[in-house]
Amino acid sequence: MTVHIPVLEKITKANDQIAGINRAQLDRHRILGLNLLASPGAGKTTLIERTLPLLGRELRVGVIEGDLATNLDAERVIAVGAPCVQVHTGSCHLDASMVRDALERLPLPELDVLLVENVGNLICPATFALGTHFNVLLASVPEGHDKPYKYPSMYRAVDLLLVNKMDLLPFVPFDMQLFRKGVEALNENLETLPLSCLSGAGIESWVDWVRSRAQKQFAAL
């Protein structure tokens, strides 16, 4: 009897094996890894720019930037003072092998936290593990309140939800109650933090979350 395994299943299995190697490497160096997910323009790079000066007071942070093209985001991160590796994916998401190669270019013994900015996309990145410890989704008010309903796999796959651009809430038709209802139906206990990367409101709560997870992760290793 011949069993036909779908190509995607083969790809994801191989990816998961490499992701396990990545996780082991992060654990060996006592580094907390966070996979930052969002649609294009939600504010991932601005979040990182806001995070680095605050988190850097206590923890050493490195960044992997995933983009189809350009080094623009990496240049922004480096300007803030963090070690950063730009990955040109050529596709709609980062995968574990790309992260493995990027890890070889980072000073891992000198890091406590690794922020991985995935490609702006609410579909493909949800399928590919990278070896990080947590998945963080950055939603934004201008995207609309329907995203949990349209992209359920992404909302199911995350450990923390940040809602950015809250300063625009009075100016756009965003129904927070309907949004939360959709989120809770998919991921009932998902912690949600509202913030604004532009004004800085709520950034401290996000930094506290990262700091707390880093402390727990280090204690467990």
Q: 31-49: per-residue pLDDT in tens?
A: 999 999 999 999 999 999 9
Residue 206: band (very low, low, confident or very high) from pLDDT cuts 50, 70, 90? very high
Q: Which fold has domain 31-216?
A: Rossmann fold (3.40.50)
User: Domain map of the chain by residue range?
Assistant: 31-216
Band of residue 129 on the pLDDT scale cut at 50, 70, 90: very high
Q: According to the model, what pLDDT value does residue 35 have?
A: 98
Q: What is the pLDDT of residue 8?
A: 62
Q: What is the pLDDT averaged over residues 115-119?
A: 98
* Closest listed residue to residue 179, CA positions, set 149, 157, 153: 149
| Residue 6's pLDDT band (cuts 50, 70, 90) | confident
- Residue-averaged pLDDT of the chain: 94
**What is the band of 162 on the pLDDT scale with cuts at 50, 70, 90?**
very high
pLDDT above 90 covers a percentage of the chain that reads: 88
Positive or negative: CA dihedral 39, 40, 43, 48 = positive
Ranking 7-11, 69-73, 126-130, 142-146 by mean pLDDT, the lowest is 7-11
Q: Tell me: pLDDT of 144 over 90.
A: yes
Average pLDDT, integer, range 158-166: 98
Mean pLDDT of 71-100: 96
Distance from the first to the final alpha carbon of the chain: 45
Per-residue pLDDT band for 12 (boundaries 50, 70, 90) equals confident
Take residue 11 and report the two structure tokens written for it: 């790809």
pLDDT value of position 108: 98
Q: Which residues pair with 64 in a beta bridge?
A: 85, 116
**d(Cα 18, Cα 16) in Å, to the nearest integer?**
5
Predicted structure pTM score: 0.93
- 196 phi, psi to nearest 5 deg: -140, 110
- CA–CA gap between residue 62 and residue 108 (Å, rounded): 8
Residues in the chain: 221
The answer to whether 191 and 39 are in contact (CB under 8 A) is no
The token pair that represents 88 in the structure block: 């040109």
User: Pseudo-torsion of CA 98, 101, 104, 108, nearest 10°?
Assistant: 20
